[in-house]
Amino acid sequence: MNNGLLQVEELRLHYRTTQGVVQAVDGITFSLAPGQALAVLGESGCGKSSLARAILRLLPRNVEVYDGCVRVNGLDVMLLDEEQFRRDVRWSKISIVMQAAMNALNPVLRVADQVIEPLLVHQDRQHDAALARVRDVFQMVGVPLDFMARYAFELSGGMRQRVVLAMALVLKPPLVLLDEPTSALDVLTQANIMNVLKRIKRDTSTSFILITHDIATSSELADQVAVMYAGQLVEISDAARFFRESLHPYSQKLMASVPRLRDDTKLEYIPGRPPSLINLPRGCRFAPRCPQRFAKCDQDPPMMHTEDSRQVRCWLYE
Amino acid sequence: MTAFLAGLRQLRQYPSAVIGMTMVLSLLVLSLVTVLTIPYSEAIRLWRGAAGVWDESPELARPTWFQLFSARKLPKTIIVDTRQGGKEIANQPDGTRVVNASLRFAFPYDELPSAVGLWLSATYKEAQPFVILTWRKPNGEEIALEERTPQQTDRYFVSRDERLRERLQARSIEEALFDAGPRGNGALLRGTYELAVEGILFEPDADLEARLVVYGKVHGIAGTDAQRRDLSVALLWGTPIALTFGLLAAVGTTIFSLSISAVGTWFGGRLDASIQRLTEVNAMLPGLTLLVMIGMFYSRSLWVMLLAIILLSMFSLGIKTYRAIFLSLKEAPYIEAARTYGAGSFRIIFRYMIPRVIPMLIPAFVTAIPGFVFLEASLSILGLGDPDIPTWGKLLFDAYANEALFKGYYYWVLEPAALLMITGMSFAMSGFALDRMFNPRLRTA
């Protein structure tokens, strides 16, 4: 697996709060090949966004623990200092489309000036050359070129989302993190954006990590699926098999809660609520809500590798 | 550009903005015209009052428009010169020559002039000419003034001739010269007066010229002060100085405190803490007292004061306000996004954070300008004005020092005060309108 674009090993990010330590990202291991899209699924508050931040080292001030290993093209970026990381990794190797991306635009800059910023910051390009690149990337994401001189507040939500996407793509990074890129958009716009992402993935072989709670839209793009629960990955699988029959009880319940087009099955829900990341239950973290729990669930399950090269953190697959 | 025009169009909806902007614009035009027509060096020369500059202007004369409020016709300054004619020279058989000059002028006013003075200029090699001066009233009465042997330039200030006053037994020379009665106790005589200058020249090439100045009681559009200086010089030059001073101080203060506050907020930690403590200490310091001390012990130069004011107000409590805005702005998603794509700290501060507060800043900035204009005036009133430069505050200081209000020279106080008030009002009105335009949410409040 050493030829992977991104390898994350035992990545941990804990926050310090007045109530205690929040174990938002607690020993995450996965890898991603070039040109692949990984969907990270999970409920709100399970640490999905913290995972994105941990990968890009966008840390708040109250960090308690931040360790593990993040390799980009084999290079352990955790060893770089902040300035090197900023210069060599952020945006040029890995860029991100933030959650609530519509607010990620500077309200006092025209959108073209906004999108050009990473180019000027990272590549010292001439303004004209940079502008040409901005024009390309606007076309790629489907923003009409006459929108370039507009301000963010003059654009619709979908257009703003595209501009933010353009900004993430402008340096042609091999990997783009998408943190709930469509959560605030209407369904039609969501579909549009997903189509844009699919086209970009096909045309430029950019890798994506799509962080979302929206299983339906994630299935559009994902080659692989990782399910996150309470700061841990509980299942990693290729998308096709995952959506057909997932392994982990949590994944199964999750899938059962998604409405299907040609099916009449009654939608299910998961009883209980996700555990607080401060006081995690002993043993399997999903055990208190799990319909299939048995005695062994009192012990912490390791990541099991199944015969068909899927991974699942559940004693059922021992 | 179109946005600018659109902004102007929007401003037109506010009458206060239109009035304020018009006033600001007139002040600017006035400054420009002043600077172009009276060069700085000329203004300084006039205001320092080098010898001879103000010889022909009356002392403590009211502005001409004062006439509008007075039923009596107030005298203006009258100047008669032999160089304009009225001089005859006759050769005498003994080789001397006799000069006969008649300086005539009409006096139609209802009040006495404030003073009478005579300048004689004689051309000679060794022997000084001899001059006899006679005053003729419209009623034919004659008063022998003096007999003099003038030097090259000779000033005979008739009004200050104590011996003459005693000889005439008059209360004042002007009364004696312009009243009907022989002792100067009758009514004021209107008509044509004449000063006869009769001179004897003892050399063939010698010559004699005379110039009579009958000082009035009104002068120019602004009147004069106790040193005969025309107040309009200081009023006019005070405008560009006040505007420059106010603008520079406001710009300097705003830019510096904004940058300091943004840098402190962004980097946080000890830097922020020390900036905050410095601000708090500075807020407790009495600024005016410090400025007075600087003026007393170091320098009164306007520019030193400007620098001191900027330094003192840079760490004003405004920093706290900006900090509050920046603290919330710092966490804004778009700032985080900028950090994500690798924008450096200073790029974020100057390209992302500071531009964001400018709409809030512009009205505050405009309303701050008169504050600094007033501060400069206050310093001048305290006697700490720049000794070289004429300003409105200096006029007020002079007026105060000369007890202008007590003696009834209201114009001396009212003129600079009015200009100060107009300046304050114009910027305040513009500022309030801009505030409503830039921060529409305040409109209903």
Per-residue HEC secondary structure of B222-268 comes to CCECCCCCEHHHHHHHHHHHHHHHHHHHHHHHHHHHHHHHHHHHHHC
Mutate to test the interface with B, among A88, A108, A180 (most CBs of B within 10 A): A108
Residues contacting residue B269 through CB under 8 Å, at least 6 positions apart:
none
Mutate to test the interface with A, among B327, B335, B340 (most CBs of A within 10 A): B340
B440 at interface of A, judged by CB pairs closer than 8 A: no
Which residue in chain A is spatially nearest to B333 when comparing CA positions?
A: A104
State the CB neighbour count (10 A cutoff) for residue A309.
Answer: 9
Distance from CA of B412 to the nearest CA of A (A): 49
> How would CATH label the architecture of A6-93+173-317?
3-Layer(aba) Sandwich (3.40)
Residues of chain A with C-beta less than 8 angstroms from the C-beta of B334: 103-107
Helix (H, G, I), strand (E, B) or coil at B188: strand
Confidence of residue B186 (pLDDT cuts 50, 70, 90): low
Residue in A58, A106, A107 closest to B340 by CB = A58
Which residue in chain A is spatially nearest to B358 when comparing CA positions?
A: A108
Confidence of residue B444 (pLDDT cuts 50, 70, 90): low
As a whole number, mean pLDDT of residues B224-243 equals: 88
Check B337 against A104: CB less than 8 A apart. yes
Of all residues in chain B, the percent with pLDDT exceeding 70 is 97
State the CB neighbour count (10 A cutoff) for residue A154.
Answer: 12
Kindly provide the residue ranges of all beta strands, DSSP E only, lying in A200-308, ordered along the sequence. Answer: 207-212, 224-229, 232-238, 304-305
Taking alpha carbons only, the member of A276, A287, A288, A284 closest to residue A303 is A284
B355 at interface of A, judged by CB pairs closer than 8 A: yes
pLDDT at res. B73: 86
Check B342 against A104: CB less than 8 A apart. no
pLDDT at res. A59: 84
B8 at interface of A, judged by CB pairs closer than 8 A: no
Residues of chain B with C-beta less than 8 angstroms from the C-beta of A109: 351, 355
H or E segment at B58?
none
B360 at interface of A, judged by CB pairs closer than 8 A: no
Phi, psi of B188 (to 5 degrees): -70, 135
Taking alpha carbons only, the member of A147, A137, A210, A221 closest to residue A180 is A210
Check A118 against B332: CB less than 8 A apart. no
Helix (H, G, I), strand (E, B) or coil at A255: helix
CA distance A15 to A28: 16
Residue B191 pLDDT > 70, yes or no? yes
Alpha-carbon distances, residue B183 vs B144, B166, B180, B192, B193 (angstroms)? 13, 11, 8, 19, 17
Taking alpha carbons only, the member of A157, A159, A158 closest to residue A148 is A159
Residues contacting residue B24 through CB under 8 Å, at least 6 positions apart:
B426, B427, B430
Cα A294 to chain centroid distance, Å, stands at: 32
Check A95 against B347: CB less than 8 A apart. no
Mutate to test the interface with B, among A53, A88, A106 (most CBs of B within 10 A): A106
Tokens describing residue A178? 């998408």
Helix (H, G, I), strand (E, B) or coil at B74: coil
Answer with the residue of higher pLDDT: B258 or B436: B258
Taking alpha carbons only, the member of B202, B204, B197, B205 closest to residue B128 is B202
Residue in A56, A104, A117 closest to B343 by CB = A117
State the CB neighbour count (10 A cutoff) for residue A100.
Answer: 12
The model's pTM: 0.75
A172 at interface of B, judged by CB pairs closer than 8 A: no
Residues of chain B with C-beta less than 8 angstroms from the C-beta of A122: 341-342
Phi, psi of A128 (to 5 degrees): -65, -45
Which residue in chain A is spatially nearest to B341 when comparing CA positions?
A: A91
Listed by number, the residues of chain A in 83-122 with a beta carbon closer than 8 Å to a beta carbon of chain B are 86-87, 90-92, 95-96, 98, 100-101, 103-109, 117-118, 121-122
Greatest Cα-to-Cα distance within chain A, rounded to the nearest angstrom:
66
pLDDT at res. B185: 55
Check A122 against B342: CB less than 8 A apart. yes
CA distance B313 to A50: 43
Confidence of residue A265 (pLDDT cuts 50, 70, 90): confident
Left, alpha or beta for A238 (phi > 0: left; psi -120 to 50: alpha)?
Answer: beta
pLDDT at res. A243: 87
Q: Are A249 and A294 in contact (CB under 8 A)?
A: no
pLDDT at res. B184: 47
At residue A43's C-alpha, the angle toward residues A39 and A45, to 5°, is 110
Which residue in chain B is spatially nearest to A96 when comparing CA positions?
A: B340
Residue in A98, A107, A108 closest to B337 by CB = A98
Of all residues in chain B, the percent with pLDDT exceeding 90 is 17
CA distance B414 to B427: 20
Helix (H, G, I), strand (E, B) or coil at B329: helix
pLDDT 10s digits, B319-374:
998 899 899 888 888 888 888 777 788 888 988 888 888 888 888 888 889 999 99
Helix (H, G, I), strand (E, B) or coil at A167: helix
Confidence of residue B23 (pLDDT cuts 50, 70, 90): very high
CA distance A78 to A65: 13
Residues of chain B with C-beta less than 8 angstroms from the C-beta of A80: none
Cβ pairs A/B, distance under 8 A = 60
Residues of chain B with C-beta less than 8 angstroms from the C-beta of A104: 333-334, 336-337
Hey, what amino acid is at A32? L
Tokens describing residue B371? 């504050």
CA distance B386 to B181: 50
Residue in B334, B340, B355 closest to A103 by CB = B334
Q: Are B131 and B100 in contact (CB under 8 A)?
A: no
A240 at interface of B, judged by CB pairs closer than 8 A: no
Residue B37 pLDDT > 80, yes or no? yes
Helix (H, G, I), strand (E, B) or coil at B166: helix
Helix (H, G, I), strand (E, B) or coil at A142: coil
Confidence of residue A1 (pLDDT cuts 50, 70, 90): very low
Residue A28 pLDDT > 60, yes or no? yes
Mutate to test the interface with A, among B330, B341, B361 (most CBs of A within 10 A): B341
As a whole number, mean pLDDT of residues A2-7 equals: 76
Which residue in chain A is spatially nearest to B343 when comparing CA positions?
A: A121
Q: Which DSSP state fits A110?
A: B
From-to residues of CATH 3.40.50.300 in chain A: 6-93+173-317
**ipTM here:** 0.71
Tokens describing residue A8? 């994350």
A150 at interface of B, judged by CB pairs closer than 8 A: no
Q: Are A164 and A152 in contact (CB under 8 A)?
A: no
Check A164 against B333: CB less than 8 A apart. no
Q: Are B109 and B190 in contact (CB under 8 A)?
A: yes
Residues of chain A with C-beta less than 8 angstroms from the C-beta of B340: 56, 58, 90-91, 95-96, 98
Specify the pairing of strand A37-41 against strand A63-72.
unpaired
Q: In what order do the strands lie in the sheet with A6-16?
A: A21-32, A6-16, A63-72, A75-76
Q: In what order do the strands lie in the sheet with B78-81?
A: B78-81, B207-215, B115-123, B153-156
Phi, psi of A110 (to 5 degrees): -65, 150
CA distance A42 to A51: 12
B188 at interface of A, judged by CB pairs closer than 8 A: no
CA torsion through residues A229, A312, A54, B341, sign: negative
Q: Are B342 and A91 in contact (CB under 8 A)?
A: yes
Residues of chain A with C-beta less than 8 angstroms from the C-beta of B361: none
B346 at interface of A, judged by CB pairs closer than 8 A: no
As a whole number, mean pLDDT of residues A230-242 equals: 90
pLDDT at res. B250: 92
Mean pLDDT of chain B: 85
Specify the pairing of strand A207-212 against strand A37-41.
parallel
CA distance A292 to A289: 9
Check A95 against B338: CB less than 8 A apart. no
Check B338 against A164: CB less than 8 A apart. no
pLDDT 10s digits, A117-159:
888 888 777 788 888 888 988 988 888 988 888 888 888 888 8
Which residue in chain B is spatially nearest to A93 when comparing CA positions?
A: B341
At residue B99's C-alpha, the angle toward residues B94 and B101, to 5°, is 160
Residues contacting residue B355 through CB under 8 Å, at least 6 positions apart:
A108, A109
Cα B200 to chain centroid distance, Å, stands at: 46
Residue in A96, A107, A108 closest to B340 by CB = A96
Residue in A92, A100, A121 closest to B343 by CB = A121
H or E segment at B274?
helix B269-284
Residue B445 pLDDT > 60, yes or no? no
